[in-house]
Amino acid sequence: MTPVYAIFHLNLAFSSVSIAQRKEVIERCYTPLLDLVEQQQLPLGIEMTAWTLNCIESINPAWVARFKKLLNSGQCELIGSGYTQIIGPLVPYQVNQWNQKIATACYQKLLGITPSLAMVNEMAYSSGMVELYADAGYRGIVMDRDNVMLALGMSDGRCLPSSYALGCDGAQLPILWSDTTLFQKLQRYAHGDISRQDYLDYFSKRAEQSGVPLPLYSNDAEIFDFRPGRFKEEPVKHQESEWHRLAQLFCSLKQVQWHLPSRALALQCKQDQHDKPTRLTSVQQPIPVKKQAKYNISRWAVTGRNDLWMNTLCHRLYQAIRTLDNEQYQRKLCEFWASDLRTHIGDERWQNNLTELALFCQQQATSLQQEPPPAGEQESATPVDSAFQIVYDDEGIYLTISHRFVRLVLNLRRGLSIESLAFEKHGFEPVLGTLSQGYFESIELAADFYSACVVVELPKEHRRVTDLEWAEPMMEWLPLQLKITATHQTPYGEIIKSISIDAAEQSVSVLFSLKNWSHQHAIVRFHALTLLGGWQKEVVVENRSGGPKAELYTLDCDVEHGQPASNMISCTTGLSSESGEIILHNSGRRLMLSWQPSQCAALPMLHHKICTPGALSRVLFSLSEIDETKQGSGDSLPFSLKYSAG
């Protein structure tokens, strides 16, 4: 007998479900789901956010009462989520804690139960999520198997990753696997896209290969007998009830034994009891998510209607309420950080969201408008030698600025890009700058690789716009700072870049903005740094992604987060750092990159290509990517990055 289980995800905040459609979704999708449990005696897992549970209670309390009865009788199982569906790696740990704490209280209040398993929201996973769910009291998590295998470089589908996920500080949790192909096959059968025999043939093949319980389904409930109208190419509803087709199929499966998800996890762990806890991420895929490649972390970070602005504002609101013991505020912030506001949100709900945001910002005295990054320190209690030596080369291409703690060389011919940057703490060995054409032996890398330059790509127009042109710098001397600014005119607006050398902080900052920029369907990336010399090898990257501890990745293989996933999807993944810090470690030295997500919640990316005589190692920050959720609205935010020796 093949052990099987199924989990249905309920989400009334589904991006393209309107407020008016919620009652219909409960009637057409959620009620037939309980029928499967009650009438067909199928021990299903039912996952939902506490927000969805509250919403169902307000519309159809009889459904909640029926669900509670089935839970108490052990006929089905509640799978936890959170108060709202938040992309955990993109938000501060404290917000993730609020999201789980509020959810637990709600589950207890309405259902009298605390779930033992949690499904990772949107399957957006980082190692920091292990500590989060363990601290929230969960005894296991549900995560997509296929993308974890991709992250770990596992190509043999018959070989599963470890059944125990390892966190950043040694915490571990057993993990129950979801399976993208299995649940999509079931969806296609229900919609009439494949025949029953097609499905059964595939299931039989998987059953023969599997030594652990199989997840027949682990996705949305709202796609059966209901179409939100998100896509023109949505499948037409089957003339026969799709829920009825599912019931017939489930009951016709032979040689299977159904289990509640928690029981399936217990069976899996018993079979894999000798597995060692393993990190389920890698530097190539630091944040695995659900489904195929178009579902990468940029989907909720820098695409949508204006994800960058929404995330930035949420960070700003978090700073305003983080020290307040106010659950109402915490709830609202979790709602504003919900993933469904960042994809295919409809006009009505988007406008409602903006109205609620404006009201909440007014309560917190926080502006909806972008605030300029704070200026550097103007005063210091300790006197600091702020004498800067400024030298131009004979041809007027390079501008060298020296101070007792820093040596910075700027390329005026290439828009104030950084030719080299060296700190006194590193013995003035240049850490980042430009690798000129000819540095690498391979023709594949026969180009110039700059630091601190802006690149904007316009796919529809087959255009690329940069600030790598002659710059006429304007210098401004402040008490402890030297500020250099240049403006580059483009057909789409201005690119303004300012570089500040701060004697008090012993740091260099680069601020750029796209002023009056008229084009929104664009890929906007700040190429922050290219590592030089000894920094090209044995680099360890430290960042935080939603958990209480930092994650560490070694750059010891080829990495390309910004590589397009397809002609429609402009990148593959990213390296979240919700704290606004990334630290590069090399032979006891540190280089810190810091920014303020409350000013611009940019998405970091890594690029590492091993090639003689060393490696091309770069850090980029994306302000805009392109996928099928992208809608042009709002202005681009200015982004400021600080470099310091750590």
Question: Which residues make Cβ contacts (< 8 Å) with residue 186, sequence separation at least 6?
Answer: 199, 216, 217, 246, 249
Average pLDDT on 413-432 reads 96
Which structure tokens are listed for 24?
Answer: 């219909």
Average pLDDT on 390-403 reads 95
Q: Is residue 368 part of a domain?
A: no
* Same domain? 280 vs 317: no
pLDDT band at 235 (very low <50, low <70, confident <90, very high): low
* Same domain? 145 vs 287: yes
Q: Is residue 383 part of a domain?
A: no
Identify the pLDDT of residue 551: 95
Average pLDDT on 241-262 reads 94
CB atoms within 10 A of CB 462: 7
* Same domain? 223 vs 348: no
Identify the pLDDT of residue 590: 97
Average pLDDT on 54-68 reads 98
* Same domain? 335 vs 234: no
Q: Tell me which of 33 and 294 has the higher pLDDT.
A: 33
Q: Can you tell me the distance from the alpha carbon of 396 to that of 378, in angstroms, rounded to the nearest whole number?
A: 31
* Same domain? 355 vs 472: no
CATH of the domain at 548: 2.70.98.10
pLDDT band at 157 (very low <50, low <70, confident <90, very high): low
Q: Can you tell me the distance from the alpha carbon of 332 to that of 335, in angstroms, rounded to the nearest whole number?
A: 5
pLDDT in tens, 298-316: 999 999 988 999 999 999 9
Q: Is residue 389 part of a domain?
A: no
The count of domains in the chain is 3
Lowest mean pLDDT among 15-29, 38-52, 249-263, 266-280: 266-280
User: Can you give the residue range of the structural domain that contains 335?
Assistant: 307-363
Q: Can you tell me the distance from the alpha carbon of 298 to that of 573, in angstroms, rounded to the nearest whole number?
A: 7
User: For residues 546 and 129, is the Cβ–Cβ distance under 8 A?
Assistant: yes
Q: Which of 238, 261, 291 is the last residue of a domain?
A: 291
Pairing of strands 398-402, 474-478: unpaired
* Same domain? 344 vs 426: no
With a threshold of 0.75, does the pTM exceed it? Answer: yes
CATH of the domain at 81: 3.20.110.20
What share of the chain in percent tops pLDDT 70?
94
Q: Tell me which of 194 and 635 has the higher pLDDT.
A: 194
Residue 498 in this model has a pLDDT that exceeds 50: yes
Average pLDDT on 101-129 reads 97
* Same domain? 428 vs 479: yes
Measured in degrees and rounded to the nearest 5, phi and psi for residue 73 equal -85, -5
Q: Is residue 555 part of a domain?
A: yes
Average pLDDT on 219-229 reads 89
* Same domain? 580 vs 465: yes
* Same domain? 271 vs 419: no
Q: Is residue 429 part of a domain?
A: yes
- CB-count exposure of residue 39 (10 Å: 0-12, 13-18, 19+): exposed
* Same domain? 433 vs 359: no
Q: Tell me which of 156 and 153 has the higher pLDDT.
A: 153
Q: Which of 229, 261, 291 is the last residue of a domain?
A: 291
* Same domain? 246 vs 169: yes
Q: Is residue 371 part of a domain?
A: no
Average pLDDT on 560-573 reads 94
Average pLDDT on 474-487 reads 92
pLDDT band at 634 (very low <50, low <70, confident <90, very high): low
pLDDT band at 374 (very low <50, low <70, confident <90, very high): low
Which structure tokens are listed for 151?
Answer: 């992250």
pLDDT band at 100 (very low <50, low <70, confident <90, very high): very high
Q: Is residue 572 part of a domain?
A: yes
Residue 277 in this model has a pLDDT that exceeds 50: yes
pLDDT band at 376 (very low <50, low <70, confident <90, very high): very low
DSSP 156-207: -TTSPPPSEEE-TTS-EEEEEEE-HHHHHHHHHHHTTSS-HHHHHHHHHHHH
What share of the chain in percent tops pLDDT 90?
78
Q: Which of 229, 260, 291 is the last residue of a domain?
A: 291
Residue 34, classed as helix, strand or coil, is helix
pLDDT band at 405 (very low <50, low <70, confident <90, very high): very high
Q: Can you tell me the distance from the alpha carbon of 211 to that of 158, in angstroms, rounded to the nearest whole number?
A: 9
Q: Can you tell me the distance from the alpha carbon of 220 to that of 10, in angstroms, rounded to the nearest whole number?
A: 6
* Same domain? 80 vs 174: yes
Q: Is residue 385 part of a domain?
A: no
Residue 379 in this model has a pLDDT that exceeds 90: no
Pairing of strands 453-458, 463-466: antiparallel
pLDDT band at 527 (very low <50, low <70, confident <90, very high): very high
Q: Residue 572's closest CA among 142, 282, 145, 232?
A: 282
